Amino acid sequence: MRGRKPKPSYLRALDGGASHSAKPNPDEPIPPGELEHDAPPEWLSDEQKDGWRYAMKNAPPGLLRKLDRSVMVAWVCAEHTHRKAAEQVAKLGSLLKSAAGTPYQNPYLAIMNKQAVIMMRAAAELGFTPSSRSRVKVEKPRSGVGDPFAGLKELSDT
């Protein structure tokens, strides 16, 4: 195994290049478009759409790209299912009793725990956790200023 999962170059650049041992990949693709202005997918329930809007409103501006949509959907669906399962656990308790009086774990507790794992994995990928946020710096783009070095790669290839 290679060890820790490599951080994407754009996150490394936003982070200020904290890891000097990792060499940037000059050919790494950069996904176009920001996700924050997109509406939630139509097939989500109304409650899930509210979760999408909440996350978009509170996510760091400029962090999420259109390609991150599927991870965002996974987070929204897991958050919704986790909330519903947590409501059932709060209502019924962690332990239930069978008809014979034997206690057993509430099935909603297992659902709640599984969705929490999915939420945390997606949240870490999206920069939603405190530890992932502490490693990312998103700079606001300056209006009217383009990348002065954008055309250099094309010039060097000719």
Is residue 44, in this structure, part of any structural domain at all? no
Tokens of 53: 């809007």
Paired strand residues for 95: 105
Q: Give the structural domain span for 134.
A: 69-97+117-138
Neighbours of 41 (CB within 10 A): 14
Q: Is residue 90 part of a domain?
A: yes
pLDDT digits (tens, 9 = 90+) for 87-121: 999 999 999 999 999 999 999 999 999 999 999 99
Judged against a pLDDT cut of 60, whether residue 136 lies above it is answered with yes
Q: Would you say residue 5 lies in a domain?
A: no
The identity of residue 106, as a single letter, is N
Q: Is residue 42 part of a domain?
A: no
User: Is residue 60 included in any domain, yes or no?
Assistant: no
Q: How far apart are the C-alpha atoms of 131 and 94, rounded to whole Å? A: 30
82, 115 in Cβ contact below 8 A? yes
| Residue 149, in any domain of the structure | no
The residue type of 14 is: L
In a domain, 8, yes or no: no
153 assigned to some structural domain = no
For residue 61, the model assigns a pLDDT of 80
Return d(Cα 140, Cα 37) in angstroms, integer: 15
Instruction: Report the percent of the chain where pLDDT is more than 90.
Output: 44
Q: What is the overall mean pLDDT for the chain?
A: 80
CA distance 49 to 73: 10
DSSP-assigned letters across all residues of 107-129: HHHHHHHHHHHHHHHHHHHHT-S
Integer CA distances (angstroms), 6 to 11, 42, 46, 127, in order: 10, 33, 36, 15
Closest CA to 73 of 98, 48, 37: 48
Structural domain count of the chain: 1
pTM: 0.67
